[in-house]
Amino acid sequence: MCGIVGYVGMRPALDVVLAGLKRLEYRGYDSAGVAVLADGGLATAKKAGKLLNLEKELAERPLPTGPTAIGHTRWATHGAPTDANAHPHLDNAGRVAVVHNGIIENFARLRAELAARGHESASETDTEVVAHLLAEEFSSCADLAEAMRLVCRRLEGAFTLVAVHADEPDVVVGARRNSPLVVGVGAGEAFLASDVAAFIAHTRSAIELGQDQVVELRRDGITVTDFAGRPADVRGYHIDWDASAAEKGGYDYFMLKEIAEQPKAVADTLLGRVDASGSLTLDEVRISTSELREMDKVVIVACGTAFHAGLIAKYAIEHWTRIPCEVELASEFRYRDPILDPRTLVIAISQSGETMDTLMALRHAREQGSKVLAICNTNGSTIPRESDAVLYTHAGPEVAVASTKAFLTQLVACYLVALYLGQVRGTKWGDEIQAVVRELSRSSQDVERVLDTMEPVRNLARSLADKPTVLFLGRHVGYPVALEGALKLKELAYMHAEGFAAGELKHGPIALIEKDLPVVVVVPSPRGRSVLHDKIVSNIQEIRARGARTIVIAEEGDEAVAPYADHLIRIPATPTLLQPLVATVPLQVFACELATARGNEVDQPRNLAKSVTVE
Predicted confidence at residue 488, as pLDDT, reads 97
Predicted confidence at residue 243, as pLDDT, reads 61
Location of each CATH 3.40.50.10490 domain in the chain = 250-445, 455-597
Query: In one letter, which amino acid is 54?
Result: L
455-597: CATH superfamily: Glucose-6-phosphate isomerase like protein; domain 1 (3.40.50.10490)
Q: Report whether 421 contacts 321 (CB < 8 A).
A: yes
Q: How many beta carbons lie within 10 A of that of residue 20, not counting itself?
A: 29
Predicted confidence at residue 103, as pLDDT, reads 83
Predicted confidence at residue 30, as pLDDT, reads 83
Active site residues: 2, 610
DSSP class of residue 178 equals S
Q: Report whether 169 contacts 1 (CB < 8 A).
A: no
Segment (H or E) for 493: helix 478-493
* Whole-angstrom distance, CA of residue 207 vs CA of residue 198: 14
Per DSSP, the three-state class of 242 is: coil
Predicted confidence at residue 27, as pLDDT, reads 65
Segment (H or E) for 571: strand 567-571
Q: Report whether 476 contacts 533 (CB < 8 A).
A: no
Query: 362 CB contacts (<8 Å, ≥6 apart)?
Result: 301, 346, 348, 372, 374, 383, 386, 387
Q: Report whether 194 contacts 101 (CB < 8 A).
A: yes
pTM score, two decimals?
0.77
> Does CATH place domain 250-445 in 3.40.50.10490?
yes
Query: In one letter, which amino acid is 467?
Result: K
DSSP class of residue 234 equals -
> Does CATH place domain 3-245 in 3.60.20.10?
yes
Predicted confidence at residue 245, as pLDDT, reads 60
State which residues of the chain have pLDDT below 50.
none
Predicted confidence at residue 397, as pLDDT, reads 82
Location of each CATH 3.60.20.10 domain in the chain = 3-245
Q: Report whether 192 contacts 162 (CB < 8 A).
A: yes
